Amino acid sequence: MSAQIGVTGLAVMGANLARNLARNGYTVALHNRSIEKTDALLEEHGDEGDFVRTETLQELVDSLEKPRRILIMVKAGAPVDSVIEQLTPLLDPGDIVIDGGNSHFEHTRRREATLAGQDLHFVGVGVSGGEEGALLGPSIMPGGSRESYDWVGPMLEKISAKYHGEPCCRWIGTDGAGHFVKMVHNGIEYADMQVIGEAFDLLRSGAGIEPQDQARIFSDWNAGTLSSYLIEITAEVLGHTDDRTGKPFVDVVVDSAGQKGTGRWTVVSALELGSPTSGIAESVFARALSSQQDQRVLAQESLAGHEATVELPENFVEDVRLALYASKLVSYAQGIDMLTAAAAEYGWELKLDEIASLWRAGCIIRAELLDDIMKAYAGKDRPANLLLAPAFTEAIAGAVPAWRRVVSIAVQLGIPVPVFSASLAYYDGLRRERLPAALTQGLRDLFGAHTYNRVDTEGTFHTMWGADRSEVEGVDTH
């Protein structure tokens, strides 16, 4: 029996994707560096569909119909290169190598170019939804040549999550586009989680609401405009009591947030693209600060707080909800701005409505909001910024008074709200008529003759700061 797709790398994500493919009627050839994992999968789940057991990459390749489709599910980085190196000599022109890990999009671009030189297709696929998503239907973001999508698209669409019957899988664009979009998804995921954390901290430290009671608040919020997977599971985590101590679970977990890298990559890429992704950046920095336990212990003893006493508004919980919602919108706006910048930089025709549409189900950031975001980009009049889409301009306007109250209360109480406040600063920066960037330009011109433009005439100018301060037309020579 020849298999329609091969999967190499059978850790949880690989195993679950292989099972998902088999459950959807595809014959799946299995390969893992150690045969034990392959056998364990067959032992436990072999009856879920048609699997072909293979012991070597050569066997895997030989078991597949042509053009071959091979899904690599190994750890991102060097292991992917190592599998590609072993695999490619065994393949024929037209075969398709698929990387379903969280690979860096630049690596995907490089690998795609190398394999294209050998007449092989390389498809970098962003997969979101965690272990359960991989098994039951993830959100899938495939990049690579349009032609390769004809071979892998139908399969991926079939195993993907469905939003009202629509597959959450679309061809994203050439080379690294799929992994880029997955990376930005993760950046938004970081910001989403951080704003939830800030809301939790404000409600606990500001309003004294205990986790169990907050679980109910988050559940209520999940029934409204904030409805999303992350808000739903926040209610679950906050409602959980630790078995050993009887304390709220959140109180027995060390408050150092881990990170595997995709959030950091998002911010590095945003910096390179010149896209102001401040909320996402603050969420990455918040995890970094949380992990500086030694410094935090010393700072708790030494740094003064001088917190003020603040009377909380009666509807503080609702204010926090609105601040969370507004900050969340900003994170999406910033993520989407990055996608626009990347499309121009890398020559991708990213369709923002389609990207929003495939984040509506299956992935970690799935949210009701994404349906409206999709609609905002679906028409001809695409907004220059998500916040400028009429529906969102109005929605955020309704949240602004509460947002300002919450940020100022947080500042007075000494509760750090890096993403709430950075997002508000972004919002104000965007809407402000004059920014102090004019002064920055003046300073740059004084110390470095970097020149400036004038508001009243075309051209580039320099003031002779060290001489008579006359103005000359000039070019920045530094």
Catalytic residues: 182, 189
Q: Which is nearer to ligand 6PG, 151 or 359 (CB)?
A: 359
Q: Which of 49, 67, 130, 416 binds ligand 6PG (CB under 6 A)?
A: 130
Instruction: State the residue number with the nearest CB to ligand 6PG.
Output: 128
Size of the site for ligand 6PG (CB under 6 A): 13
Work out whether 99 is an interface residue with ligand 6PG (CB under 6 A).
Answer: no
Nearer to ligand 6PG, 15 or 91 (CB): 15
* Radius of gyration for the chain, computed over Cα atoms and rounded to the nearest angstrom: 25
- Residue 258 interacts with ligand 6PG (CB under 6 A): yes or no: yes
277 in contact with ligand 6PG (CB under 6 A): no
Select from 71, 65, 50, 67 the least CA-distant residue to 6: 71
Give the residue with the Cβ less far from ligand 6PG, 139 or 222: 139
CB of 283 to ligand 6PG, least distance (A): 10
Residue pair 462/471 in contact by the 8 Å Cβ criterion = yes
Residue 379 phi, psi (nearest 5): -80, -175
**Structure tokens belonging to residue 424:** 């508000």
- Of 364, 417, 419, 424, the residue at the interface with ligand 6PG (CB under 6 A) is 364
> Is position 219 an interface residue for ligand 6PG (rule: CB under 6 A)?
no
Least distance (Å) from ligand 6PG to the CB of residue 95?
Answer: 27
Q: Give yes or no for residue 331 binding ligand 6PG (CB under 6 A).
A: no
Q: How far apart are CA 423 and CA 42, in angstroms?
A: 49
Q: Is 186 in the site for ligand 6PG (CB under 6 A)?
A: yes
- Core vs surface per residue 206-235: b (16+ CB within 10 A) or e: beebebeebbebbbebbeebbebbbbbebb
Distance CA 384, CA 340 (A): 9
Binding-site residues for substrate, in ranges, read: 102, 128-130, 185-186, 190, 260, 287, 444, 450
Site for ligand 6PG contains 228 (CB under 6 A): no
* Exposure b/e, 141-158, CB count within 10 A at least 16 = b: bbbbbeebbebbbebbbb
CA dist., res. 296 & res. 331, Å (int): 27
Question: CB of residue 281 vs ligand 6PG: minimum separation in angstroms?
Answer: 14
Decide: 4 and 27 in contact? Cβ < 8 Å.
yes
The residues binding ligand 6PG (CB under 6 A) are 102, 128-130, 186, 189, 258-260, 262-263, 363-364
